[in-house]
Structure 1
Amino acid sequence: MAVSDGQGAELTRLRSKRGGRLAKRFIDAGALDDMTASFPAALAAIRKRPEAELAIDAFGRRLWQRCVEMASIDHPRRELVGWDDRPLYWARLAMLAQLRDWRPKFGADDETRARWERRFEWASRGITSVGFGSEPQTARTILVSGFDPFRLEGEPRASNPSGSIALALDGQVIEAGSTTVRFASVILPVRYADFDAGITEKVFGPYIEDGPHRVDAVVTTSQGRPGQFDVEGFFGRRRSPDGTRDNDGVLIDSAPESAEAGAGMAAGPEFLATTLPVERMLAATGASAVLPNRSVVEVVDGAKSPTVSPDGPTPGSRAVRGSGGGFLSNEIAYRVALLRDASDRPPRTGHLHVPRPAPQLDDGELTDPDFDDERAGVVAQARELVIAAALGG
């Protein structure tokens, strides 16, 4: 059962005095203040309905592109490192609030306004601009996803290193020996409602099915445990998040043995496995350990309570948690693998949990040098792991 402490918890946090001040600090420190300052005026200048979607798309895409550009170049006004994901997160929220507050003279019903908000969100997450240019057919293409910061109720200044990885990799082209590898990235929301509405299938489907946009690999990433990368072996079908709320404040409140699958999933097995080249990825060295994780939590046929199975699922068991847990990081990997297994020419897919740097922030600080250095190491090592995923096989 899903329990919410109030839909729109992210915007509620933003509109609070503390949240508003924090958002402004991140937006200013990320040199995105001109974006949030000019958006309301651009909206106010719109006189006809068709102009609205054009302006909303343009601002969303520009916000994403600005943050991707800053991930690879120094900006004279930016106080935070270029691939810090938090200015993008807070600027997106601020601009969504501005969009929600806009009252166009030509009017707009709730359905239209919801469509506008989704268009802005998807554009500002890189979703509507995924592309691999005109690389030769021999180039390897790889689609990478990260997530927004979450658990902000405990630490509103939290970063999500997977979002930093996505910003750092989007649009990058590298030469690995005789192979060209090209990356595209997206950052997804930490909200059950978006997954229930099919965001995974809509975003990844065109790049997994056999066709002109098919990629060679999909690597979904998320924040994991401190000090190590986990290459997850198995993904469970059901939600069992162990007390973690999503960013809308929604908590899945059910016993592990009665865990249920997310809405809208196609039929599929209880567990699906990674098809990434795990051994090749384990050989990618760096500051943090890279470990395979095959452990799952399952209810074995005939049992009443869940058990931990360290080397993968038992045939016929009921999934409780995949190797990477039972939250949305597990779910995105499962949904992507389900699309993969329905494809006539499937790309390799899998999930990488990345180390969670822990900032030691004093009151009023947005970051600290040790945190920035550790996160830089995570981003650099993740790049090598994703390259290994692209080259394997």
Structure 2
Amino acid sequence: MKRLRAVILSTVPLALALTLVPAVAHARPAPCLDPNAPTTVEEQRLDDRLTPAGPEVGPELARLAGFDDDVAGFTARLCATTTRTAARQLASAGGTDLWRAAVRRAQSGPQSWDAYDDRPLYWARLQVTRALRQWQAPFSLPAAERAELVERFDRASRGVTDVRFGAGVRRVAVTGFDPFQLFGTSVRRSNPSGAAALRLDGRVVDTPRGPVVFEAAVLPVLWGSFDRGVVERFYGSASSAHAFVTISQGRPGQFDVERWAGRWRGGFGDNNDVSAVGPVPDAAGWPQPAHEFIETTLPHDRLVNAGTGPFPVLYNRVFCEWPVGTTPGTGTPSCRTDEPTPGAAAAQGSGGDYLSNESMYRANRLRLGLGATGVAGGHLHTPVLRQPVDPAALTDAEFELERRDIADQVLALVSLV
């Protein structure tokens, strides 16, 4: 039934991307939570199991990484909160605390659960946002104010509001993504771009060109969050950087440096099973010049030829456009590897027409809008991370090794920009 509701949700307009659906009751909820309050499709996956008798995957991954205490502590503080001001402060501080705990864990030594695993942060975050939606506040809490609390926590727990660049070294801002395509046993998916972001945040790396410091965030796989400016908020806060690098998961067995970002959404469903088709909209409050295509300024030859790791690195020149004089979204786009036609509308960037392409487009549209033409900018697609072989397993040695190899090669590549 839950999945039926998800399919229905995918047909609603983008403006209703955060439309909520009735929640499934949970065992022993905190006393201040209403387990019947509506939650999102994404949050409802917290109930998913790999086998009928197995644990709920999301909470189990959070527990294995030690984040269950963070979730319980936040919920207890939420239940004790009595004012709007305190609720806002808790949402911001709690999100920042969870992000920094995840970064510390990702950058620590060997642990009982793989430090490279990005999934515990994702599922711990969803447990908290579900609690915020179910919170029975001791004061009137209109839907818009509740949504603002969720947004505060969500952005802080992604590193979006935690940019702390210093001076005196080369600065690189990077973003990865949450896990996505979480249906069936795929609920256990990991995203190596998110794992790499956690490994990078705040690190200073010595390179032949001098030290490089990274600030990182993990982006949501949600059209609505992009509409509300999550990409612009992070890269706008990191505007003193020398390079903007968006990162996501792409094709099997290889890295791709994408040449073009395109101003078009192709409609593939997000983590709330919502689709979006059409030109990339603006995000309010940021300079956003009109471009159909934006070309990378990353040193692609250096990245391709550096011999950074086990996976080959390719420079992907493909793009697709709607022919001049046609209506975008109708007919068949023209796909090529040369240069976009003046006056043609974008149909796909080199990295496609999903949120990975859009992260590159938005970050670099902002870069151009800020006049930061000397800043390098572009997108890196990682190899696809396979899932554990046993469909009932949360991890295995090959899965962990492949994620580690991808994340370590990301570090080697972004150190060169």
- Per the normalisation by structure 1, the TM-score is 0.89
Task: Please identify, of 63-72 and 41-50, the stretch whose mean Cα deviation from structure 2 is larger.
Answer: 41-50
Give the one of 155, 160, 163 matched to 1:130: 163
Aligned to 1:236: 262
Aligned to 1:270: 292
Instruction: Indicate yes or no: 2:406 matched with 1:383.
Output: no
Supply the AA of the counterpart residue of 1:124. S
Instruction: Indicate yes or no: 2:325 matched with 1:291.
Output: no
Q: 1:302 to 1:55 in 2, by over 3 A?
A: closer
Q: How far does residue 16 in structure 1 lie from its aligned partner after superposition?
A: 5.7
Instruction: State the Cα RMSD in Å.
Output: 2.1
Instruction: Indicate yes or no: 2:369 matched with 1:342.
Output: yes
Aligned to 2:340: 313
* CA distance in 1: counterparts of 2:346 and 2:83, whole angstroms: 51
Q: How far does residue 15 in structure 1 lie from its aligned partner after superposition?
A: 4.5
Unmatched runs of 5 consecutive residues or more in structure 2:
1-9, 21-39
* CA distance in 2: counterparts of 1:268 and 1:129, whole angstroms: 29
Instruction: Indicate yes or no: 2:207 matched with 1:176.
Output: yes
* CA distance in 1: counterparts of 2:233 and 2:385, whole angstroms: 31
Identity of aligned pairs, percent? Answer: 39
Aligned to 1:245: 269
Q: 1:53 to 1:302 in 2, by over 3 A?
A: closer
Q: How far does residue 17 in structure 1 lie from its aligned partner after superposition?
A: 6.8
Q: How far does residue 74 in structure 1 lie from its aligned partner after superposition?
A: 3.3
Unmatched runs of 5 consecutive residues or more in structure 1:
209-213
Q: Structure 1: which 4+ aligned runs deviate by more than 4 Å? A: 4-7, 15-20
Task: Please identify, of 7-16 and 93-102, the stretch whose mean Cα deviation from structure 2 is larger.
Answer: 7-16
* CA distance in 2: counterparts of 1:356 and 1:184, whole angstroms: 24
Aligned to 1:23: 58
Q: 1:331-355 CA deviation, whole Å, 9 max, x = no partner?
A: 1111111112222333111000011
Task: Please identify, of 179-188 and 11-20, the stretch whose mean Cα deviation from structure 2 is larger.
Answer: 11-20
Q: How far does residue 75 in structure 1 lie from its aligned partner after superposition?
A: 6.7
Aligned to 2:179: 149
Q: Is this contact kept in 2: 1:144–1:220, CA < 8 A?
A: yes
Q: How far does residue 359 in structure 1 lie from its aligned partner after superposition?
A: 2.0
* CA distance in 2: counterparts of 1:264 and 1:188, whole angstroms: 15
* CA distance in 2: counterparts of 1:261 and 1:178, whole angstroms: 36
Aligned to 2:400: 372
Q: How far does residue 36 in structure 1 lie from its aligned partner after superposition?
A: 1.5
Q: 1:124-171 CA deviation, whole Å, 9 max, x = no partner?
A: 0011111124x42xx100000011111002511111111001000001
Q: 1:84-104 CA deviation, whole Å, 9 max, x = no partner?
A: 110000000011111222112
* CA distance in 2: counterparts of 1:269 and 1:240, whole angstroms: 17
Aligned to 1:189: 220
* CA distance in 2: counterparts of 1:96 and 1:24, whole angstroms: 13
Q: Is this contact kept in 1: 2:191–2:249, CA < 8 A?
A: yes
Q: Is this contact kept in 2: 1:67–1:83, CA < 8 A?
A: no
Aligned to 2:356: 329
Supply the AA of the counterpart residue of 2:195. S
Supply the AA of the counterpart residue of 1:354. T
- Per the normalisation by structure 2, the TM-score is 0.84
Q: Is this contact kept in 2: 1:360–1:371, CA < 8 A?
A: yes
Q: How far does residue 207 in structure 1 lie from its aligned partner after superposition?
A: 2.6
Aligned to 2:385: 357
Aligned to 1:111: 144
* CA distance in 2: counterparts of 1:71 and 1:127, whole angstroms: 17
Instruction: Indicate yes or no: 2:44 matched with 1:12.
Output: yes
Count the aligned residue pairs. Answer: 371
Q: Is this contact kept in 1: 2:67–2:120, CA < 8 A?
A: yes
* CA distance in 1: counterparts of 2:383 and 2:207, whole angstroms: 25
